[in-house]
Amino acid sequence: MKCLVCQASWKESKGAICPQCGYDHAAPNFNDAQAIQRARQEFRDKSSAYAPHKRVKRWDKMVPWAALALGLALFIVWLKACSTFRPW
């Protein structure tokens, strides 16, 4: 099946409700243009809502800083190792 609202495809054996947007294709007025437009607008508002506190976790914010700290630590160890070894 192909959803009239979000254009997602799924197997008909999985049911008449869209797994992505939740639109019921078995409802009596599923083919009503006004209902489809309302559902599209609701899906658009829900999917494009600005909510970084729900999507971006603390770990995602800390990974770049941890990589920077690890790189700095390796650079300092490398400097220390190279400064003590003097072949000349």
Same domain? For 64 and 77 the reply is yes
Q: Is residue 2 part of a domain?
A: no
Range of the domain at 20: 12-47
Q: Which residue has the tokens 């959803």?
A: 3
Same domain? For 43 and 60 the reply is no
**CA 20 to chain centroid:** 13
Angle in degrees, CA 11, 13, 18, rounded to 5: 55
The answer to whether the predicted template modeling score (pTM) of the entire model surpasses 0.85 is: no
- Spatial neighbors of 68 by CB under 8 A, at least 6 apart, are none
pLDDT in tens, the chain (88 residues): 888 888 888 888 888 888 888 888 888 888 888 988 988 898 888 887 777 677 778 898 899 999 999 999 999 888 888 876 555 5
